[in-house]
């Protein structure tokens, strides 16, 4: 296993040179049918011939669980960047549980909880599809990294948490399966038991979050034990338990951090995967990042976004 990972790492190092002159191909497949809806995934791979199974990055789009799409054109640069570096990139559909719902709050949390449950269930279904078809898709089932923006970031953080906490929702995954890494662009975890506590060590996690985010809380929104726990709050748990992570705390910027790191931090994301996932470095890194030339957009609140 160590030898395979080493060879995979070497292949990724040289892939930018090997892949020059090649293009990225997209294939769409149906991975599940739920509530009468076909759930599809777009699979992005370089058309070069790979000598080894590739690490896989699964992406979950944002849109407040009420909108968005897996093939939103602004994501294309992110998908192509990593496909050209020897990764298989998979962007998935999921059911949108907040369509037609009022703004969530601590006294009206059931709709958002249901929406998160639906999205996590669909991510698990997509994961199982990839595992079952790993040989045909030429991906390494031990190197599946989940990433997401906003609602998608909530979904991937929640999915890894529920799997590592042995929650019944994750029983659909193989017993020995673990996500290899998590990349969150302005996400959080919904919990009815206070700040999430993992029964098993979580996947190495890369957090991006703006300190002025009012849509997905940078820290937390909580009523007694019920709450949405954002990146800053989750990192406290990671520090306490010495879980590997990297946290880009973007000062005085709002919810736009759910998108622009996918354009402006691509080398940093690539380095995180190499260091934390492929090399398995046990690092805990906090980066307080401030761009004095960037003016923050006015961040939506749940009330303004859903009404």
The domain that holds 23 is classified in CATH as 3.40.50.1820
- Domain of 267 in residue numbering reads as 2-306
Residue 146 belongs to what H/E stretch? Answer: strand 139-149
Residue 10: which pLDDT band, with cuts at 50, 70 and 90? Answer: very low
| Mean pLDDT value across residues 109-129 | 97
DSSP state of 200: S
SS3 assignment for 189-227: EEECCCCCCCCCCCCCEEEEEECCCCCCCCCEEEECCEE
Q: 281 has which bridge partners? A: none
Q: How far apart are CA 257 and CA 230, in angstroms?
A: 13
The larger pLDDT score, comparing residue 114 to residue 300, is at 114
Number of domains in the chain: 1
The larger pLDDT score, comparing residue 166 to residue 3, is at 166
Residue 52: which pLDDT band, with cuts at 50, 70 and 90? Answer: confident
Which pLDDT tens digit goes with each residue over 27-44? 999 999 999 999 999 999
Look at residue 238 in the predicted model and tell me its pLDDT: 98
The label of the residue with tokens 């989750």 reads 234
Residue 192: which pLDDT band, with cuts at 50, 70 and 90? Answer: very high
Q: How far apart are CA 283 and CA 265, in angstroms?
A: 19
Q: What are the residues whose beta carbons fall under 8 Å from the beta carbon of 175, sequence distance 6 or more?
A: none
Q: 210: which 2 tokens? A: 């703006």
- The CA radius of gyration of the chain, in Å to the nearest whole number, is 18
Q: 265: which 2 tokens? A: 């931090």
What backbone phi and psi angles, to 5 degrees, belong to 245?
A: -160, 165
Over the chain, what is the mean pLDDT?
Answer: 92
Residue 208 CA, chain-centre distance (Å), reads 11
DSSP state of 304: H
- Nearest alpha-carbon partner for 188 in 223, 163, 211, 158: 158
Q: How far apart are CA 118 and CA 232, in angstroms?
A: 25
Helix, strand, or coil (residue 7) = helix
pLDDT of 76 > 90? The answer is: yes
Q: 245 has which bridge partners? A: 205, 284
């Amino acid at each position: 296993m160590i030898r395979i990972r080493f060879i995979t790492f070497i292949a990724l190092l040289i892939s930018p040179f090997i892949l020059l002159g090649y293009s990225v191909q997209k294939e769409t497949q149906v991975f599940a049918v739920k509530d009468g809806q076909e759930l599809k995934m777009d699979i992005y791979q370089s058309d070069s011939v790979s000598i080894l199974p590739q690490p896989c990055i699964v992406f979950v789009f944002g849109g407040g669980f009420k909108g968005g799409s897996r093939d939103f054109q602004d994501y294309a640069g992110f998908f192509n960047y990593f496909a050209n570096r020897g990764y298989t990139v998979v962007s998935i559909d999921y059911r949108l549980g907040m369509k037609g719902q009022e703004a969530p709050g601590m006294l009206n949390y059931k709709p958002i909880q249901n929406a998160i449950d639906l999205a996590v269930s669909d991510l698990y279904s997509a994961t199982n599809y990839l595992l079952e078809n790993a040989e045909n898709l030429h991906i390494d089932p031990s190197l599946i990294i989940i990433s997401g923006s906003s609602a998608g970031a909530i979904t991937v953080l929640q999915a890894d948490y529920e799997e590592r906490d042995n929650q019944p929702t994750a029983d659909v995954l193989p017993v020995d399966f673990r996500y290899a890494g998590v990349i969150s662009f302005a996400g959080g975890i919904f919990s009815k038991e206070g700040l999430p506590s993992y029964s098993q060590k979580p996947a190495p996690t890369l957090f991006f979050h703006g300190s002025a985010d009012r849509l997905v809380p940078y820290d937390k929104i909580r009523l007694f034990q019920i709450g949405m726990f954002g990146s800053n709050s989750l990192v406290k748990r990671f520090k306490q338990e010495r879980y590997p992570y990297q946290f880009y705390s973007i000062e005085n910027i709002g919810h736009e951090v759910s998108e622009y790191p996918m354009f402006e931090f691509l080398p940093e994301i690539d380095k995180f995967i190499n260091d934390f996932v492929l090399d398995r470095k046990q690092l805990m890194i906090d980066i307080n990042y401030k761009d004095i030339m960037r003016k923050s957009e006015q961040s939506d609140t749940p009330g303004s976004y859903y009404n």
